[in-house]
Chain A
């Protein structure tokens, strides 16, 4: 049975979190006192909520890292409807509550690794995508899932420029979508998802680069063929459909061997990037026999 390496027991209460940071900042002595604290600091210190909400790539609101935090308040997330179509038993356009309201959420603390070589640790609230797929009813001929983000230029100022072809779209192979690590998230730190983080619902695929985890989803389609995805459309030489985190396959413009941890401050340096972002044991079998340098 699959078990995540970051569990509920590892969650730091938000109030205690800042205190602990100060203790850790006090030096190695504080960490040496307890092996648990050391492990916590190495493995899974969740990124501060403030940082999660102010350092975002969400080009719908602009290409600057601070643009989403500046402009995302313009977005209306209620009412919110989602179109489900393609090779499904229950196609239609659903109100969000109707579609996911009865699926219980849980907390999952995942590493989040951006293709730009920075990372965070995020305590998501959400549910496994496979639970939603069970509700939708996936037909036998479906091989892939495809997602689309909302297009509403009057509320998403970044869409007023043709920097990329809107809507933002992403996709997964069906077995990736069914994997228990793959989430639909509706909150972070027990709070409703902030607009700039992809409210009201987004995908989270922790072993892939962040751009795969599409935000503010309005359409979910089950399809037979590999769907077109935004960054592959934008630059197929630099971004692949799979986009699995892989320290051994460089982006043409930078190395993926290491990453900067957001919140580390000036002298934190870098940490080594882990194969499949640290989820190798759980997901490597999905790609058996595939050349990961070719299917990057």
Chain B
């Protein structure tokens, strides 16, 4: 039997992995955090811890979904089937992050929530990123591509580039000093988007 290239091996096996399995794996962090909550292991300020972990997971999944195409281009690894799965998981965590902030952190103090959403730059940036995800989620089903046409669909989904940059900027902006971790996420987001710009320019 001829040796199958390693990358092809991954791609072939990945094709056999059902989407639901990835969703299931994707919600494991949620249940893990939920368990830590119940067990009182989220530290002295569990609400903030929950909020931050959910937000970070959201950003991580969104960035992961943007790594699928470069993996195919440069690594010849085809995981395209899971791009949407990762994106939707990202949105779910971002939504939970937003709800945690609104319900548990700000305790539905609407005056403060309203003021924060329009006045505090880092919250505005995060909120805009969240809003921009909504049309992407709304057009994430197969039929949507046919409905609006693949070209328009592709253009619309370029919003995801804006979303990851805004998401990472939101992470950096809420720090009180420059932090390595959040800056690394920003560089990663910028790198993934810069790749797309280069691809378009070369065409």
Interface residues of A (CB under 8 A from B): 50-51, 54-55, 59, 63, 65-66, 116, 118, 163-164, 234-235, 250, 252-255, 257-258, 260, 262-263, 265-267, 269-270
Contacts and interface: CB of A to CB of B under 8 A. Distances in A.
Contacts, number: 65
Interface string B160-172: 0000000000000
A148 to B, nearest CB: 19
A258 B45 contact: no
B37 interface: yes
A118 B48 CA distance: 10
A253 B176 CA distance: 10
B120 A234 contact: no
B10 interface: no
A55 B104 CA distance: 19
Interface in B78-105: 104-105
B122 interface: yes
B43 interface: yes
Contacts of B44: 50-51, 54-55, 65, 262-263
B120 A253 contact: yes
A63 B178 CA distance: 10
Contacts of B176: 63, 116, 234-235
Interface in B16-51: 37, 43-48
Contact of B46 (A54, A116, A164, A265): A265
A65 B43 contact: yes
B43 A253 contact: no
Interface of B: 37, 43-48, 104-107, 109, 111-112, 115-116, 119-123, 173-179
Contact of A54 (B43, B48, B105, B121): B43
27 contacts: A50-B44, A55-B43, A59-B177, A63-B175, A63-B177, A66-B43, A116-B176, A118-B48, A252-B121, A253-B121, A253-B173, A254-B123, A255-B116, A257-B111, A257-B112, A258-B109, A258-B112, A260-B45, A263-B44, A265-B46, A266-B47, A266-B104, A267-B104, A269-B104, A269-B107, A269-B109, A270-B106
A257 B119 CA distance: 14
Given A255-B112, A267-B104, A269-B107, A260 B47 contact: yes
B27 to A, nearest CB: 20
A270 B123 CA distance: 19
A181 B77 CA distance: 66
B36 to A, nearest CB: 12
Contact of B120 (A63, A65, A254, A270): A254
Contacts of B175: 63
Contact of B45 (A59, A63, A250, A262): A262
Nearest to A54: B44
A55 B115 CA distance: 28
